Amino acid sequence: MDVKPLLITGGTVLTVNGQDETIESGALLIEGTRIVDIGPADVLGARYPAAERLDASGSVIMPGLVNLHMHSGLIRGTAEDLPVFEWLAKHVDPKHRALTEDLAHAAARLCYAEALLSGTTCVLDMYRFMHKCAVAADELGLRAVLAPYVVDKPGMDWFETLETNRRLVEERNGTSEGRIHVWFALEHLTYNTEEAYRKAAELAAKYDTGIHTHGEESRDMAISLKLRTGRWPVELFHDRGILGPRTVLAHCVWLRREERELLARTGTAVAHCPVSNLKLASGIAPVKELLEMGVTVGIGTDGVKENNNLDMLEEMKFVPLLQKARLLDARVMPAETVIRMATIGGAKALGLDREIGSLEVGKKADLIVIDFRKPHLTPVMGGKYNNAASNVVYAATGADVKHVFIDGRQVVRDHRLVRADVSEIIASGQTAAERLFRLREPFVPA
């Protein structure tokens, strides 16, 4: 049976196009997987009288959010109050040693459900057993770039390898009607040999895919690497051949001027994770300077173990607050800049900006509807006092997301998943977490 075009109408449309155009009382028409028209609600209503309609009055219609760095996981709220490398040794690495593919599947379903319900339509997820993550993303309808943890240092053979990563690329890259992509991914400079980076760069070139890894988030580790190698972390990445427009570095908190220049010169993108950087006492990334140098910067939540949620709307608020406080300048990082980072910025970092990241005719219909009929989102003002962008960044939360569309298909309707039972996902996640902690116990250091 033919599906009628859908007209989403009556809301304030934040297009995030090249002019950051806002359409008050706007509308857009979805036909198949694409946006085929966009404009004032009265004009499109008259133009498409036979289209199905979704009333978005009192709401904001905007591009779906792109979470540019996250980790699926099950140890939320149980790995607290430690600096990053002690935290890794005591909590995270033992978890990886105990993880099984079924537990990874339960974790991905739980995290992807949380992401969708809070307005994220595309994730760059770094995890393990990611063939199971692909299954979860396909089940829920999420757009996902999968980046398996690869580690090749001796004594850490419970992680993924470049060979398992390569097989996943061959099996899953471009599947699920193009919603799933697979990149090559390396855990960290202290977890991988120089050869691993060079080989990953060769494989990424061969398979025409991207590279994801952790840029430095620890000041002490950045200094240690400099003392041991004579090079700062981004310089090491450059020496090992992975910088470029198909690479995303997470965090990049401690950057010297020469490192920032390398990122700009090579077109390497950065995933800024402010909440994780605060919680692990890592510091504040120089986002304002990176943007001014032309570096593509998106926003990531990091994992549930260090955030402790995947709410990108909450994450967005911390981006400008940190830069304003760091620079003692209230004028930096306007709301429109932050929204661009969370949408078209993340899409550009993933090489997907021609398809997603803004609401424009011909692009994929990846979009969200945020219900502004809430006390904390009132008043809704138009004209010269239009406050839609400011309220999205500073007042909205993931709980305000009412509808979510990916590839033109509705995956969240009235705050509920369309393609899965969230109660069953929660129950499965709880059972999996309890099992993981039992399996992890022998690997936890005394």
Residues 101 and 47 in one domain: no
pLDDT given for residue 1 in this prediction: 42
SS3 at position 57: coil
Q: Does residue 102 sit within a domain?
A: yes
User: Is the distance from CB of 212 to CB of 147 less than 8 angstroms?
Assistant: yes
Q: What average pLDDT is seen over the chain?
A: 96
Residues 132 and 281 in one domain: yes
CATH number of domain containing 222:
3.20.20.140
**Predicted confidence (pLDDT) per residue in 32-50, tens digit:** 999 999 999 999 999 999 9
Residues 87 and 52 in one domain: no
Q: Does residue 157 sit within a domain?
A: yes
End-of-domain residue from the set 349, 374, 400: 349
Query: Any idea which residue has 């090579």 for tokens?
Result: 266
Q: Does residue 433 sit within a domain?
A: no
- Determine the length of the chain: 446
End-of-domain residue from the set 312, 329, 349: 349
Distance CA 438, CA 436 (A): 5
Distance CA 325, CA 329 (A): 7
User: Taking Cα atoms as reference points, which of 154, 219, 147, 218 lies closest to residue 185?
Assistant: 147
Residues 10 and 137 in one domain: no
User: Is the distance from CB of 149 to CB of 125 less than 8 angstroms?
Assistant: no
User: Taking Cα atoms as reference points, which of 214, 147, 130, 151 lies closest to residue 184?
Assistant: 147
Per DSSP bridges, beta strands 269-272 and 409-413 are: unpaired
Residues 164 and 292 in one domain: yes
Question: What burial class does residue 46 get, using C-beta atoms within 10 Å of its C-beta: 0-12 exposed, 13-18 middle, 19+ buried?
Answer: exposed
Q: Does residue 379 sit within a domain?
A: yes
Residues 151 and 229 in one domain: yes
Q: Does residue 198 sit within a domain?
A: yes
Residues 52 and 88 in one domain: no
Residues 134 and 223 in one domain: yes
Q: Does residue 432 sit within a domain?
A: no
Residues 56 and 96 in one domain: no
**Predicted confidence (pLDDT) per residue in 380-419, tens digit:** 999 999 999 999 999 999 999 999 999 999 999 999 999 9
User: Taking Cα atoms as reference points, which of 304, 54, 93, 325 lies closest to residue 188?
Assistant: 93
Write the DSSP string, 230-293. SS-HHHHHHHTT--STTEEEE---S--HHHHHHHHHHT-EEEE-HHHHHHTT-----HHHHHHT
User: Is the distance from CB of 417 to CB of 113 less than 8 angstroms?
Assistant: yes
Q: Band of the pLDDT at 5, cuts 50, 70, 90?
A: very high
CA 344 from chain centre, in angstroms, equals 12
Domain with 364, as residue range(s), is 6-63+358-417
**Predicted confidence (pLDDT) per residue in 132-189, tens digit:** 999 999 999 999 999 999 999 998 888 999 999 999 999 999 999 999 999 999 999 9
pLDDT given for residue 353 in this prediction: 98
User: Taking Cα atoms as reference points, which of 235, 271, 229, 230 lies closest to residue 253?
Assistant: 271
Residues 322 and 403 in one domain: no
End-of-domain residue from the set 317, 349, 381: 349
400 token code pair = 């305000």
Mean pLDDT of 230-241: 97
Distance CA 58, CA 126 (A): 36
**Predicted confidence (pLDDT) per residue in 48-78, tens digit:** 999 999 999 999 999 999 999 999 999 999 9
Distance CA 247, CA 349 (A): 8
Distance CA 345, CA 65 (A): 10
Distance CA 379, CA 420 (A): 34
The DSSP 8-state label assigned to residue 421 in this structure reads: -
CA 263 from chain centre, in angstroms, equals 20
Residues 258 and 332 in one domain: yes
CATH number of domain containing 384:
2.30.40.10
pLDDT given for residue 155 in this prediction: 86
Mean pLDDT of 228-247: 97
How many structural domains are present in the chain?
A: 2
Distance CA 36, CA 314 (A): 31
Q: Which secondary-structure segment (H or E) carries 170? A: helix 162-172
Residues 78 and 115 in one domain: yes
Q: Does residue 443 sit within a domain?
A: no
Q: Does residue 104 sit within a domain?
A: yes
